[in-house]
Amino acid sequence: MGETLPRVPGGVRLHSDTVSRPVQTLRVKMVLLGSSGVGKSSLALRFAKDEFRNTSPTIGCAYLTRLVHLNNVTLRFEIWDTAGQEKYHSVTPLYYRGAHATLLVYDISKRETFIRSQVWLKELEKQNIPGSTVIWLVGNKGDLAQDRQVSVQEGQSLANDKGLFFIETSAMTGEEVGKLLISVAHTVYECIGEQQGGLSEWQEAPAVDLRHRDSFNPFALCCKVGP
């Protein structure tokens, strides 16, 4: 599969737990954009749990998390999987605004999704401050190479023209998905994390003990998603 990846330093590890977590944990907002059916939800699930299962179209937005340990820092990826249906297009900017990493996903077996990814790119260029986010063009469903409608060269050429990173993946087989996440982590930390105000530190919220409360207040509760 074709790809343009930054060099990944030694010592980078993917973990789902917090064992041996370095002192500092930084928050990384990553958003997946693309047409309905290109496999955004499947990629998000691979990122978060390294699992694959058939999914229904996303309604609005789904949210998952994943920890990535680099040599001297942990990145807590907050993964926003947006709906690709046209009826949700107007609200999608609410989700990708402020993203540190954006994945523009298309299906290599459906040319219209490749064209649509370029529309998303134009939207991003309107919303984002240059240098505030790293953008990857991701040709998904590499397992359908026999039905390919978009060549590796076309994807690479678009990425080169627009200054994007590029890779082809298969959420179904998991091919290149882990490598993509590690590369995004390295790139975000190098390009954004060391800037002043680039990445904020994540602090785990203290647990709330409800056993001794005199009354139940539903508005006092919250849900914690992910690690």
The structure's pTM equals 0.76
Q: What is the pLDDT of residues 27-55, one digit of tens each?
A: 999 999 999 899 999 999 999 999 987 76
Q: Which residues are CB-neighbours of 143 under 8 A, at least 6 positions away?
A: 170, 172, 173, 175
Highest mean pLDDT among 12-21, 23-32, 56-65: 23-32
- Contact between 168 and 139 (Cβ < 8 Å): yes
- Superfamily name with CATH number, domain 3-220: P-loop containing nucleotide triphosphate hydrolases (3.40.50.300)
Q: Which residues pair with 136 in a beta bridge?
A: 103, 165
Question: Which of the four pLDDT bands, split at 50, 70 and 90, describes residue 22?
Answer: very low
DSSP code, position 136? E
- CA nearest to 99, candidates 192, 34, 14, 181: 192
State percent of the chain over pLDDT 90.
49
Lookup: tokens for 171? 């959420």
Q: For 39, left (φ over 0), alpha (ψ -120 to 50), or beta?
A: left
**Averaged confidence pLDDT in the chain:** 79
Residues paired with 89 in a beta bridge: none
66 beta partners = 77
Closest CA to 203 of 33, 50, 29, 76: 76
Instruction: Please determine, for residue 60, whether its predicted confidence score (pLDDT) is greater than 60.
Output: no
Give the domain ranges of the chain: 3-220
Residue 127 has pLDDT above 90, yes or no: no
Q: Percent of the chain scored above 70 by pLDDT?
A: 70
What mean pLDDT is predicted for residues 106-125? 94
CA atoms within 13 A on the CB side of 160: 9
Give tens-digit pLDDT for 75-91: 999 999 876 544 445 54
